[in-house]
Amino acid sequence: MTTDTETPKPLGERKERIATDFTRVARGYDLLCALNPGYIRHLGMSANRLKLAGDASVLDLCCGTGLSTAALRKSYPGVSITGLDASAGMLAVARNKKNLSDVTWIEGDGMNPAAAGATGPYDGILMAYGIRNMVDPDLCLTRLHELLKPGGSLCLHEYSVADSRRSQWTWKLVTSTIVIPLGLVFTGTTSIYRYLRESVLEFDGVAALEERLKRAGFIDVRTEPMDGWQRGIVHSFLARRAEQ
Ligand SMILES: C[S@@+](CC[C@H](N)C(=O)[O-])C[C@H]1O[C@@H](n2cnc3c(N)ncnc32)[C@H](O)[C@@H]1O
């Protein structure tokens, strides 16, 4: 059941088998997220920050069990939504949600959404807790830029603590004392939660991720904060594809 006795693998190798790891915890995922104060509301803040029109088409990349998809649906009742994730188990939970019955679900690799059938072009892309898990974030962002319509918007909803010692300290405290122990109780494994802790500590700071977005061709790159304990830890990284 648990992989906790395995020798920890380098993060790069872990990313390649992450879909399987998420399938293991899929059934307890929503409950654990509900216990995290602000998790759902913050997804709503990022969804709103996309500022989509009522008839837009939007891709929820790395949609998981559909919590980010539900945030999009709540913010934009009339838009057409495609949700893509690599984990069959996470998608199975999403597909069962009655309020998301009109969503197009695709199982595939977020590194190349078009190859999986998410060809767009889209007015907006939300990627919540996804970019950190990509094996080549620069290539992924270049492809997302290509998938957007001219003028389209991207929001990366993601942890980023590298620029702040205080944020790193808070993150270490919260993951050690709450996230990893609760993960064990609700899902029977700590492997993915230890990966979460380490991958966030190794991930880009705010300035570095903004630079990646600019290198991929995005304009109007900016970062907006969350509130609560996630202030300085979770952010909306916002960017647009130029009109021409
Ligand atoms: C932390 S969950 C976030 C789910 C959802 N966006 C949310 O906010 O609750 C991360 C998701 O990314 C997916 N994922 C990780 N790497 C992926 C990849 N290369 N391609 C597609 N999905 C991936 C996992 O399967 C998992 O469902």
3-state secondary structure of 132: helix
**What is the CATH class of 11-240?**
alpha beta
Choose one of 14, 18, 50 to mutate for the ligand 1 pocket test, by most ligand atoms within 8 angstroms of C-beta.
18
Between the CA of 133 and the centroid of ligand 1 the distance, in Å, is: 8
Residues 65-78, mean pLDDT to the nearest whole number: 97
Q: Is the CB of 59 inside a 6 Å radius of any atom of ligand 1?
A: no
Residues 158-180, mean pLDDT to the nearest whole number: 96
Q: Is the pLDDT reported for residue 115 higher than 70?
A: yes
- What's residue 71's pLDDT? 98
Q: Is the pLDDT reported for residue 134 higher than 80?
A: yes
Task: List the beta bridge partners of residue 159.
Answer: 234
CA-based nearest residue to 209, from 172, 238, 167, 178:
238
CA distances to 8, 69, 77, 176, 242 from 54, in Å: 46, 16, 8, 42, 21
Residue type, 194: R
Per-residue pLDDT band at 7 (split at 50, 70, 90): low
Atom of ligand 1 nearest to the CA of 111: 19
3-state secondary structure of 106: strand
User: Hey, where are the domains in the chain?
Assistant: 11-240
CA distances to 82, 111, 145, 165, 191 from 127, in Å: 12, 12, 13, 26, 23
- Between CA 83 and CA 65 the distance in angstroms is 10
Q: Is the pLDDT reported for residue 217 higher than 60?
A: yes
Q: Are 179 and 197 in contact (CB under 8 A)?
A: yes
Q: Is the CB of 111 inside a 6 Å radius of any atom of ligand 1?
A: yes
- Between CA 210 and CA 207 the distance in angstroms is 5
Q: Is the CB of 109 inside a 6 Å radius of any atom of ligand 1?
A: yes
Rg over alpha carbons for the chain, rounded to the nearest Å, is 17
Instruction: State the pTM of this model.
Output: 0.94
